[in-house]
Structure 1
Amino acid sequence: MKYCVLITDGASGWGIKEQGGKTALELARTPNLDKMAKNGFMGQSANVPPGMEPSSACACMSLLGYDPEIYYKGRAAIEAVSMGVDVAPDEVVFRCNLVSVIDGKMASYSAGHISSEEAAELLEAVAKELGSERVKFYPGVNYRHLLKLKGMGDTAKALCTPPHDISDREVSPYLPQGEGSLILNQLISSSQQILKDHPLNLRRQSQGKLPANSIWLFWGSGPIPPMPSFKKAYGLDAVLNSGVDLLRGLGIMMNMKILELNGITDGLNNDFSGQMRGGLLALGDNDLAVIHVEAPDEAGHAGSLADKVKAIELIDELMVGQLLAYPEDIRVLVTPDHPTPLELKTHVAEPVPFLMWGKGVASNGVSRFTEKEAAKTGIIFEKGCNLMQAFLK
């Protein structure tokens, strides 16, 4: 039998007052998910352990069957694995976003979803002025990059706030604070002077686009501990595809095969159909495929109900439809990793709905894939890392 895990990042959320208290999942037209739900098994999963950050790093680690309380030591280090950046014992790595700060406020945590090509040019300018043997910048995808500091271990103790947690807020209260924060603030401030009048930013502004006029540092961490491979832990050969470095990093840490596909992005321009098609084709040589879709979460961070609903509907039409039509015995797990309420534009650590469907799965009487239907079952995995084992039984 084959297995597929479809992670709909951030698709869960809160009821929206202006929409009669309905969530994006309830508002979306999802005939394929509804068909699965009626013939499947639903419940809730708490993927973020108490006291830990409600990040995709913690939540997706749980969903993939590993306990974040044991293995999670910081998100930036996971992304470094994906990007092939080694982190030595005396080094600290940080996520380094390119952001837009306008009139002292966080106008965009993604610099208006700047392209990878433009971002690389701007980061190169920052690295030329601020980089050294002890300070190194690494370009990533779109606005997401890395900074590595050598011999500055105290920076890992600084209190840092992700920029997507402070959309439209004054940034000054959320700059790095406490022990180790001085060098981080110096780098942020210096980057603003470098980027302010960069020709690319001037061109973006003339086109009505937001300038990428600052770096923002957060999620600092040192080397990650070794993890048992997915094959050793669960006895299956697994393949993973995602449009973001975080999930690829987790897959590499778990010794999963990383499936490279064209057209896979973090937004509505993602090739949803191609992503699922490629994942299912990869099941020919593997037992389990993990397909991670970032678009609902990006819409949540942007506070766009229309985009979040659209992302969910595209997943239903172009991805779930393929799962229903798969010609061999298959078992499917569909679930967000965490909620991303539109009101907050960031993550919360609440349980999310999960849906199991396919070979050997008995129905437990739900009608739709929504938060309310999942809660009505009374079934909850208090430790989300145990869901994978239940799915593979």
Structure 2
Amino acid sequence: MFSCEDSSLSPIHNNNNSTQPPNDNFYAVDEKKIKICFVMIDGIGEVNSKRLDGKTTLQSAHTPNMDLLAKTGMNGLMDPVQPGLACGSDTAHMSIFGYEPRLHYKGRGSFETIGAGLDMSPGDIAFKSNFATWNPQTNIVELRRADRHFEDIGPILCDYIEKRCEEGGFNANHDCIVSVKYATEHRCGVKVSGKNLSGDITGTDPLVDNLELVKCEPVKGLKGKELENAQRTSNLVNDLSHFIYEQLVHHDINKQRKKEGKNEANIILLRGCGVCIDVPPFSVRHPGLRPVMVAPTAIIAGLGKSIGMDLKKVEGATGDYRTNLQKKGSGFLKYLLGEDEPGNENKYNFGFCHIKAVDDTGHDGNFNLKKEFIEKSDQMIGMLMQEFEKRKQRAVFIVTGDHTTPCYYLDHSFEPVPLIISANYLNLEKHPELADTVQSFDEVYAKGGLGRFTGKQVFDIVREYINITTSQEDFMKF
């Protein structure tokens, strides 16, 4: 069995704070003509529930394909950043991709904004932002998410705010340029470009419904010029927050929503101020891998672009409840196998596919819908498995989540998440030792051969798994 405590699985990074790429490589992937298929099911983890007869949503869901991967592979429990930490998707993905978030994290705003389609330059600041409902008389943010369904009106309101910042004098009065781009659901990216802007500030989001709108301020501990720039930037952000309210509250869309008894989207909460990260590209961090990503969710797409992953769009993949996971899987497969254009067969050997809807169900407290989207995710994975098998294409599958999002809590929690790694080319009849004894994919059964480990160890494990399972020809059936 594999073990994270095994000397053969020693971590790539001897120094966790190192900015240098690891010495080990993934060259066996090309040598053995392997494609790595990494499926990230956002928020898949859960706690057991009386509503589900003491099971988790993952245990109660019908997942024959992930169960098959569990039976034919190695299983374990992953703490995305560290044990006991309820992490965000951005820091979790950074850790799993091999970038220590405590060293490299510069705020989630830049990821959301880049993922939404805005380019960022050094000196720009950006925010992960929500359309929300605010009561100016009480200063209470009544709903942090005015509505999840902003696909039609979100782009209109974003374009309007950006236009009003220019035409209404905000940019000129504050010597800056404000850019606003719709992302998904209730989210948008807000970028501010200008001189001497500081990312060392808080935001305006209270993070919980029915609390007061927060005043943006410099983070604690700043002095001198840093404090001066942060104070000026904070003042600008507070002014921007109120300017946006003045534009939205009078917009025809909100007047109509009010008539229809819908929540007004009368303010944008500015959260997670971020600047560009400066890190080695993914292909340098993991020599031998050439990555492609399908991730409609802006914050994940922005992180992928920030580390040099090729980002691809798939029709029908929306990053919300409307998503068509079969279309998403088919598009992902097409790009990973290079079937989009002649001659692209070897362009990518590592594919990352992100599924968001499962996380949304946890935030919405919808047990049945979470179970449904887990099952839809399983069906997509089953399609990928079949297509690789049809083509006799050697593939390594990795399936996991970036954190738990229990329906009881309506938010991220700290429990570890299950992880599978399985290869379709293994001759398990001859070498059963290449799989552990786990029979299904869930939080309880995941006590497999990998043990418990942190996100930063994932690619160490993947590399060693590939090296071991390809080290002898009779390990492989094709």
Q: Same fold (TM over 0.5)?
A: yes
Q: Residue 125 of structure 1 is aligned with which of 137, 160, 172?
A: 160
- Equivalence for 1:23: 56
For residue 371 of structure 1, what is the aligned residue in structure 2? 443
Q: 2:65 aligns with which of 23, 32, 49?
A: 32
Alpha-carbon shift at residue 281 of structure 1 (Å)? 1.9
1:287 pairs with one of 325, 349, 352: 349
CA drift at 1:333:
0.2
Q: Which residue in 2 is equivalent to 1:316?
A: 378
Please give the residue correspondences for 1:184-195 in structure 2 after superposition, counting only pairs within 5 Å. 184-195=237-248
The one-letter code of the counterpart of 2:418 is P
- Where do 1:113-192 residues align within 5 Å? 113-130=148-165, 131-132=170-171, 133-142=175-184, 143-149=186-192, 150-151=194-195, 153-154=197-198, 156-160=199-203, 165-166=207-208, 169-172=209-212, 174=214, 176-177=216-217, 179=219, 180=231, 181-192=234-245
Q: C-alpha displacement at 1:174, in angstroms?
A: 4.9
Q: Which residues of structure 2 form unaligned runs of 5+?
A: 1-33, 220-230, 338-344, 429-433, 467-478
User: 1:42: how far off?
Assistant: 0.9
| Change in 2 beyond 3 A, CA 1:280/1:124 | closer
TM-score scaled by length of structure 1: 0.88
Measured in 1, the distance between the counterparts of 2:125 and 2:248 equals: 24
Q: For the Cα contact (< 8 Å) 2:204–2:269, is it kept in 1?
A: no
Compared CA separation, residues 377 and 207, structure 1 to 2 (3 A)? farther
- Report Cα offsets for 1:72-114 as digits up to 9, x if no partner: 2221122333345344443321122212346866554443123
- Indicate conservation of the 8 Å contact 2:398/2:420, yes or no: yes
> Which amino acid in 1 is paired with 2:150?
S
Of residues 431, 435, 456, the one that matches 1:385 is 456
Quote the Cα distance in structure 1 between the aligned partners of 2:86 and 2:48.
Answer: 22
C-alpha displacement at 1:17, in angstroms? 3.8
Query: Pairwise mapping of residues 224-243 of structure 1 onto structure 2 (< 5 A)?
Result: 224-230=277-283, 233-243=286-296
Query: CA 1:141–1:87 in 2, change beyond 3 Å: closer, same or farther?
Result: closer
How far off is 1:380 after superposition? 1.3
Secondary structure of the corresponding residue to residue 367 of structure 1 = coil
Q: CA deviation at 1:50?
A: 7.2
Residues 176 and 184, structure 1, Cα contact 8 Å, conserved in 2: yes
User: Is contact 2:106-2:274 (8 Å) kept?
Assistant: yes
Corresponding pairs, count: 388
Provide closer, same or farther for how the CA distance between residues 233 and 276 of structure 1 changes in structure 2, counting only shifts above 3 A: same
Structure 1 unmatched ranges of 5 or more: none
Q: For 1:51 and 1:72, how far apart are their aligned partners in 2?
A: 19
Scaled by the length of structure 2, what TM-score is found?
A: 0.73
Q: What is the distance in 2 between the residues matched to 1:303 and 1:196?
A: 30
CA separation of 1:8 and 1:162: change in aligned 2, threshold 3 A = farther
Contact map agreement 1:266 1:298 (CA 8 A) in 2:
no
Q: Deviations over 1:55-86 (max 9, x none)?
A: 11111122233332333222112233334534
C-alpha RMSD of the superposition: 2.8
Write the deviation string for residues 242-292 of structure 1: whole angstroms up to 9, x where unpaired: 111222222222322222211111223211011111112223232121111
Question: In terms of mean alpha carbon deviation, does 182-191 or 72-81 score higher?
Answer: 182-191
Pairing 1:355–2:420 present: yes
- The answer on whether the counterparts of 2:75 and 2:450 sit within 8 Å (CA) in structure 1 is no
Q: Distance in 1 between the 2:114 and 2:213 partners?
A: 31
Label 1:238 to 1:90 Cα distance change in 2 as closer, same or farther (>3 A): closer
Residues 418, 443 of structure 2: 8 Å contact kept:
yes
- Are 2:295 and 2:355, in contact at CA under 8 Å, matched by a contact in 1? yes
Which deviates further from its counterpart, 142-151 or 335-344? 142-151
> What residue identity is the alignment partner of 2:311?
I
After superposition, the C-alpha distances for 1:150-169 in whole angstroms (9 at most, x for unaligned) are 34634x33334766x42xx3
Taking the aligned partners of 2:52 and 2:141, their CA distance within structure 1 comes to: 27
Q: How does 1:233-312 map to 2 (within 5 A)?
A: 233-284=286-337, 285=345, 286-312=348-374
| One-letter amino acid of the counterpart of residue 417, structure 2 | V
Q: Which residue of 2 aligns with 1:345?
A: 410
1:198: which partner in 2?
251
Identify if the C-alpha distance between structure 1 residues 176 and 389 changes in structure 2 by more than 3 Å, giving closer, same or farther. Answer: same
What's the % identity of the aligned pairs? 26
Q: 1:268 to 1:124 in 2, by over 3 A?
A: closer
Distance change in 2, residues 1:335/1:91 (3 Å): same
Contact 2:254 2:266 in 1 (8 A): yes
SS in 1 for 2:44: coil
Q: Deviations over 1:329-357 (max 9, x none)?
A: 11100001111122222223442111111
- 2:388 aligns to what SS in structure 1? coil
Alignment equivalent of 2:147, drawn from 112, 124, 149: 112
Return closer, same or farther for 1:92/1:30 CA change in 2, 3 Å cut-off: same
